Amino acid sequence: MQYPPQSAHSFAEHQALYNRVVAFYFEVIQAHEGILSLKNKEALTALEKLTHATEKSPHPILPLSDIAPDIPAMFRRAAINAALGSARAFFSSLKTWRARKEKHEAQPCKKGKKQQPFRERPPVPPRTWNKSASFYAGLWKERSQHSIMLRVWTGSCWSWLKIGALSRDIPEGYALGSPQLVRKGKSWWLHTPIEKTLESPANVVEQIASKETRLCAVDLNLDQHIAVCTVQAVEGTILATSFIGNGTAVSGTRRETARTHCTQPISDWHHCRRGTGQC
């Protein structure tokens, strides 16, 4: 991404505001945990009613305007979705922790021994936020192969900034998603996902009924090959086989496993400890 030096300050201010708004909505969700039982779209509407002033509701319970005035709707919604994602992950971990604690405390004590306390620490909410700001529709425009306009909070106002960007050809059938401002060291990058809507595949019974269906079976091994892959027809005929080797390319666990077995031919037993089959 190409931009003038002064724009880096604006990007930093924009991301800082974005994370303050994400943290604000995370705290709102903590205070109204029932929102997480709603689907994302319904949860977003509920959070906006609690925080955003409108003609029908000029005095929300938790006004977002206390964080910053005149926040664009798409900026607010991007932050809400980010907060919802973090909140769902946190409360899911917390629920799992509580279940483990209850299971531990429900275990009967052994005769003559005290029950050991549950020592696993509970998950805690994020103490700091460093999410990359997303630009929903309305926060960007005039995208071309070499440039794009972004609506950015500069620290004092909302401004449109034109920046240079290198883009690639979009594969056929794909559409551009929402750009995201990402900080890497002292530089700023613009990441844009591509999206494609796929039709839901038929169920397994219907797929297997077709003679054109091909199945790929993978067998994980513990000896010379990491895995053996076979492509089979529905009736079980093997059409192709591939051996995946080079065990040194995997993690140390498999290398340690390989060391415990002597794979040398009989004539090379002098490389092994005498009287054992180990290397």
Which percentage of the chain shows pLDDT scores above 90?
Answer: 52
**Scanning the structure block, which residue is given the tokens 């498999």?**
254
Q: Would you tell me how many other CB atoms lie within 10 Å of the CB of residue 181? A: 21
Residue 256 above 80 pLDDT? no
Q: Give the model confidence (pLDDT) of 52-100 as tens digits.
A: 988 888 899 999 999 888 999 999 999 999 999 999 999 999 999 999 9
- Can you tell me the distance from the alpha carbon of 14 to that of 161, in angstroms, rounded to the nearest whole number? 12
Q: What is the pLDDT of residue 278?
A: 44
How many other CB atoms are there within 10 angstroms of residue 74's CB atom? Answer: 17
CA gap 83, 126 in Å, rounded = 11
Scanning the structure block, which residue is given the tokens 């620490």? 121
Q: Which range among 201-205, 258-262, 264-268 has the greatest average pLDDT?
A: 201-205
Nearest to 243 by CA among 215, 220, 213: 220
More confident residue, 49 or 249: 49
Q: What is the CA radius of gyration of the chain?
A: 28
Per-residue pLDDT at 98: 94
pLDDT for 149 equals 95
Residue 228 — very low, low, confident or very high, per pLDDT cuts 50/70/90? confident
Predicted model pTM: 0.71
Instruction: Inform me whether the pLDDT recorded for 276 exceeds 70.
Output: no
Distance CA 78, CA 225 (A): 46
Which of 24-33, 64-73, 138-147 has the largest mean confidence? Answer: 24-33
Question: CA 27 to CA 13: how far, in whole Å?
Answer: 21
15-19, 158-162, 265-269: least confident range: 265-269
Residue-level pLDDT at 23: 97
| Domain-wise residue ranges, the chain | 5-195, 204-271
- Rama region for 142: left / alpha / beta (φ>0; ψ in -120 to 50; rest): left
Cβ atoms of 231 and 214 closer than 8 Å: yes
| pLDDT for the residue 201 | 73
- DSSP letters of 156-186? SSEEEEEEE----PPPTT-EE---EEEEETT
Structure tokens at 73: 């709707």
The pLDDT of 179-188, averaged and rounded, is: 94
Q: What is the pLDDT of residue 231?
A: 92
- CA-based angle 27:31:37, to the nearest 5? 100
Per-residue pLDDT at 222: 57
Give pLDDT, residue 10: 96
Residue recorded with tokens 């005769």: 111
pLDDT category of residue 225 using cuts at 50, 70 and 90: low
Q: What pLDDT is recorded for position 242?
A: 87
